[in-house]
């Protein structure tokens, strides 16, 4: 009987530790960006992979296909990509950028919105 009780306690301890819940923010890469961020090398690939599907030239939505368009809309971009999940204005629609991608936009603005 003691062995069974000991085994149940041990099993409960293992299961409770194995079911630890971690949020996306806790597991995402939040390493500080040290090198300067540029539009061409860092921001443009994020825009092309996550934004231009809806934000292309000729559409009803603000286009984000050129350096000047992204630079001129950086305040709105930062607002939209940093909104909490569930907010109807959060971008991109249907998902969220990673913490590292959001930090790239923030650092790009802090670095002076350099193109190259």
Q: Is 28 left (phi over 0), alpha (psi -120 to 50) or beta?
A: beta
- Is 100 within a domain? yes
Please give the tally of structural domains in the chain. 1
pTM: 0.73
Q: Is residue 4 part of a domain?
A: no
Predicted pLDDT at 68: 98
Predicted local distance difference test score (pLDDT) of residue 9: 74
Main-chain dihedrals φ then ψ at residue 63, nearest 5 degrees: -70, 145
With 80 as the cut, is the pLDDT of residue 66 above it? yes
CB 100 within 8 A of CB 23: no
Domain around 45: 29-110
CA distance 50 to 94: 10
Is residue 3 included in any domain, yes or no? no
Nearest to 47 by CA among 63, 25, 31, 58: 63
In a domain, 23, yes or no: no
Q: Above 70 in pLDDT, residue 25? A: no
CA angle 68/53/37 to nearest 5° reads: 45
Q: Is residue 24 part of a domain?
A: no
């Amino acid at each position: 009987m003691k062995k069974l009780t000991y085994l149940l306690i041990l099993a409960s301890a293992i299961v409770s530790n194995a079911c630890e819940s971690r949020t996306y923010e806790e597991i995402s890469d939040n390493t500080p960006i040290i090198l300067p961020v540029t539009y061409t090398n860092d921001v443009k690939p994020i825009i092309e992979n996550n934004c231009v599907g809806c934000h292309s030239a000729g559409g009803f939505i603000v286009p984000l296909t050129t350096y000047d368009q992204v630079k001129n809309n950086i305040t709105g971009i930062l607002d939209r990509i940093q909104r909490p999940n569930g907010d109807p204005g959060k971008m991109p629609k249907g998902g969220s950028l990673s913490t590292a991608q959001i930090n790239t936009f923030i650092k790009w603005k802090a670095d002076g919105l350099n193109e190259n």
